[in-house]
Amino acid sequence: MARKSFRQALNEALRHEMARDDNVIVLGEDVCGGAGASGEQDAWGGAFGVTKGLLAEFGPERIMDTPITESAFIGAAAGAAMTGLRPVAEIMFVDFLGVCFDQIFNQAAKVRYMFGGKAVTPLVIRASFGAGARSASQHSQALYPLFTHIPGLKVVIPSNPYDAKGLLIEAIRDDDPVIFLENKMLYDSEGEVPDGAYTVPFGEAGILREGDDATIVALGRMTAVAETAAVRLANDGIDCTIIDPRTVSPLDEDTILDFVADTGRLVIVDEAYPRCGTAADISSIVAEKAFHDLKAPILKVTPPHAPVPYAPQLEEAFLPDTRDVEAAVRSVMEGA
């Protein structure tokens, strides 16, 4: 197995699926880059270079630049999905989905249900998310709780290159609309990724580490933060399990509940805002279903209820870090 970047893993997933199925198309702003300009075509390959090279391999009929018009092209992707294609639409930043919410949550998410099961919408919407790139309030959010809230959507948050490839292939083959969110700070991260096509199923959490003392649930880039904290805690004799749900809709509740039953202690680390967020959601599920397994209150480690700031020291203060996670775990361990 070769080491590959998160970006390359995603690119391979798209290439496999486009080669496998002619009905898979890619569309979005600058997914090629340079459309209609006199210079290089495929100049960008998307805002983060994920789709680079697809133009040469599949041609402009299969990978289409769009005008800056999210509402129209996400809706067109939904309409095309309803009528025979399997579009993969790229939104540069998840923050921009605000301008096309209707097409996602009133159209794509609901047509199957509203039409009594007579429609399928095999649509993937990929977008970058996350703080850390000094991109300020409108380009740094982790908005997946908004999509998790909507019945009909599936929501995927890969945390490493292996999962990124397998989950994206799974998403493209899935017949439901999938919101696929890529933490922008992970694009250059590397990991072992097989060359061939493979899938990682939805609704099955990954267990990144096993320990008897406390359970940490972490998503996306926060899994690495949790792992660093867990190594430090292990030096002090506190052994943590780390669960990466990988998809928040569907959510692998069983795995989380099983480990909470074993450890009796739960810390949830998440980059989304705290109110009505993923950490709050998981916390409420565990409180309802496993209250009597708990030996300590559930703790959430999240950013504050504030927009993402620009200045580096403010943004660092905004994001959960290893010290926050360590402190939370030590807190739930008190009296143990």
Q: Which of 18, 31, 32, 74 binds other proteins (CB under 8 A)?
A: 74
For other proteins, which stretch binds (CB under 8 A), given 116-124, 137-145, 273-281, 313-321? 116-124
Q: How far apart are CA 172 and CA 86, in angstroms?
A: 7
Structure-block tokens of residue 41: 């075509």
Choose which of 28, 46, 75, 158 interacts with other proteins (CB under 8 A): 75
Instruction: Check 139, 149, 292, 305 and give the catalytic one.
Output: 139
Name the minimum Å distance from CB 7 to other proteins.
Answer: 27
* Near other proteins in 211-250, by CB under 8 A: 250
DSSP letters of 22-52? TTEEEEETTSS--TTSSS-TTSSSSTTSTTT
Q: Which of 19, 106, 310, 323 binds other proteins (CB under 8 A)?
A: 106
**Rounded-to-integer distance, Cα 89 and Cα 64, Å:** 10
Kindly give the residue spans of alpha helices, DSSP state H, lying in the chain: 6-20, 54-58, 70-82, 101, 111-114, 144-148, 161-173, 222-235, 253-263, 278-289, 312-318, 322-333
**114 interacts with other proteins by CB under 8 A:** yes
List 1, 39, 59, 118, residue binding other proteins (CB under 8 A): 118
Residue 51 · residue 29 · CB < 8 Å: no
# residues contacting other proteins (CB under 8 A)? 46
Whether 16 is catalytic: no
Supply φ then ψ for residue 4, to 5 degrees: -140, 160
Q: How far is the CB of 65 from other proteins (least distance, A)?
A: 9
Q: Specify the amino acid at residue 64.
A: M
Site for other proteins in 157-186 (CB under 8 A): 174-176
Number of H helices, E strands in the chain: 12, 14
The residues binding other proteins (CB under 8 A) are 23, 25, 61, 64, 66-67, 69, 71-85, 87, 100, 102-103, 106-107, 111-120, 151-152, 154, 174-176, 203, 250
Q: What is the set of active-site residues?
A: 139
